[in-house]
Chain A
Amino acid sequence: MSKAPATLFDKVWDSHVVRKIEDGPDVLFIDRHFIHEVTSPVAFLGLESRGLKVMFPGKTFATADHNTPTINQHLPVQDPLSANQLKALETNSAKYGISHWGLGNPKNGIVHVVGPENGITLPGMTIVCGDSHTSTHGAFGAIAFGIGTSEVEMVLSSQCIMQPKPKKMRIKVNGKLGKGVVPKDVVLYIISRLTAAGATGYFIEFAGEVFEQMSMEGRMTVCNMSIEMGARGGMIAPDETTFAYIKGREKAPNGEAWDKALAYWKTLKTDEGAAFDIEYEYNAADIEPMITYGTNPGMGMGITRHIPSAAEAGGSKASYEKSLNYMGFREQDEMLGKKVDYVFIGSCTNGRIEDFRAFASIVKGRKKADHVTAWIVPGSHIVEQQIKEEGILDILTAAGFQLRQPGCSACLAMNDDKIPAGKYAVSTSNRNFEGRQGPGARTLLASPLVAAAAAVTGVVTDPRSLMAE
Chain B
Amino acid sequence: MAYDKFTILRSTAVPMPIENVDTDQIIPARFLKATERKGFGDNLFRDWRYEADGTPKKDFVLNNPIYSGKILVGGKNFGSGSSREHAAWAIYDYGFRCVVSSFFADIFKNNSLNIGILPVQISAGFLDKIFTAIEADPKTALEVNLEAQRITILSTGESESFEINGYKKHNLMNGYDDIDYLQSMKADIESFAAKSIY
B110 CB within 8 Å of chain A: yes
Q: Is the CB–CB distance between A29 and B189 below 8 Å?
A: yes
Q: How many A-B residue pairs have CB under 8 A?
A: 202
Task: Report A-chain residues with C-beta under 8 Å of the C-beta of B81.
Answer: 132, 431, 433
Kindly identify which residue among B20, B30, B189 contacts A55, using a CB–CB cutoff of 8 Å. B189
Which partner residue on chain A sits nearest B191 by CB separation? A18
Query: Given A24-B168, A164-B165, A431-B81, do A150 and B188 touch, yes or no (CB 8 Å)?
Result: no
A469 part of interface (Cβ distance < 8 Å): no
Q: Are A315 and B19 in touch, CB under 8 angstroms? A: yes
Candidates B83, B177, B192; contact of A146 at CB < 8 Å = B83
Q: Which of A82-90, A173-181, A353-361 contacts B (4 or more CB under 8 A)?
A: A82-90
Using a CB-CB cutoff of 8 Å, which residues 133-148 of chain B contact chain A? Answer: none
A439 and B188 contact, Cβ closer than 8 Å, known pairs A21-B167, A153-B179? no
Q: Given the known A-B contacts A82-B33, A148-B110, A421-B52, are A434 and B47 also in contact in the complex, defined by CB atoms under 8 Å?
A: yes
> Within 8 Å CB of B189, what residues of A?
18, 27, 29, 55, 158-160
Once A50-B179, A131-B82, A296-B80 are accepted as A-B contacts, the answer to whether A264 and B107 lie under 8 Å apart by CB is no
Does A23 lie within 8 Å of B20, measured CB to CB? no
* Chain B contacts with A in 1-22, Cβ cutoff 8 A: 1, 17-20, 22
**Across the interface, which residues of B come within 8 angstroms of A118, CB to CB?**
none
Cβ contact within 8 Å between B30 and A413: yes
8 Å CB contacts to A: which residues of B52-86? Answer: 52, 75-77, 80-86
In angstroms, Cα B47 to Cα A31, docked, is 38
For window 142-181 of B, CB contacts with A under 8 Å fall at 165-168, 177-179, 181
Cβ-defined contact, B185 with A147, below 8 A: no
When the two chains form their complex, are residues A436 and B24 in contact, meaning their CB atoms are under 8 A apart? yes
Is A64 positioned at the interface, with any CB of B under 8 Å from its CB?
no
In the assembly, what is the distance between CA of A414 and CA of B27, in Å? Answer: 12
Q: A39-B84, A414-B30, A421-B52 are in contact. Are A319 and B37 (CB under 8 A)?
A: no
B185 pairs with A46, CB closer than 8 A: no
Contact B80 A84 (CB under 8 A): no
Q: Is the CB of A42 within 8 A of B47?
A: no
A439 to B110, CA, bound (A): 27
Q: Which residues on the A side are within 8 Å of B43 (C-beta)?
A: none
Q: Is the pair B111, A150 in contact by a Cβ cutoff of 8 Å?
A: yes
Q: Is the CB of A157 within 8 A of B28?
A: no
Name A298's closest neighbour in chain B (CB-CB).
Answer: B20
A319 close to B75 (CB less than 8 A): yes
Q: Cβ of A445 < 8 Å from any Cβ of B?
A: no
**Is the Cβ of B182 less than 8 Å from the Cβ of A197?**
no
Which of A67, A81, A148, A319 is the one whose CB lies under 8 Å from B18? A319
B84 near A24 (CB under 8 angstroms)? no
Let me know if A391 is at the binding interface, CB within 8 A. no
Residues 83-108 of chain B: 1 if any A CB is under 8 Å from the residue's CB, otherwise 0? 11110100000000000000111110
Judge whether A148 and B85 touch: CB under 8 Å.
yes
- The answer to whether B193 touches A148 (Cβ under 8 A) is no
A132-B183 contact, Cβ under 8 Å, with A148-B107, A201-B106: no
Supply 20 further A-B pairs (C-beta < 8 A) apart from A27-B189, A39-B84, A431-B22: A38-B84, A42-B36, A45-B36, A81-B34, A130-B85, A149-B86, A149-B111, A154-B182, A157-B183, A160-B182, A197-B80, A200-B106, A230-B80, A260-B197, A264-B197, A296-B20, A296-B22, A316-B75, A318-B18, A434-B24
Report, nearest first, the 4 A-B pairs whose CB atoms are least far apart. Answer: A24-B167, A23-B166, A148-B85, A146-B83
23 contacts between A and B (CB under 8 A): A18-B192, A23-B167, A27-B185, A29-B189, A39-B84, A41-B35, A52-B179, A66-B32, A130-B85, A149-B86, A149-B111, A150-B85, A158-B182, A197-B20, A200-B77, A200-B105, A230-B105, A232-B107, A295-B20, A318-B17, A412-B24, A433-B24, A434-B25
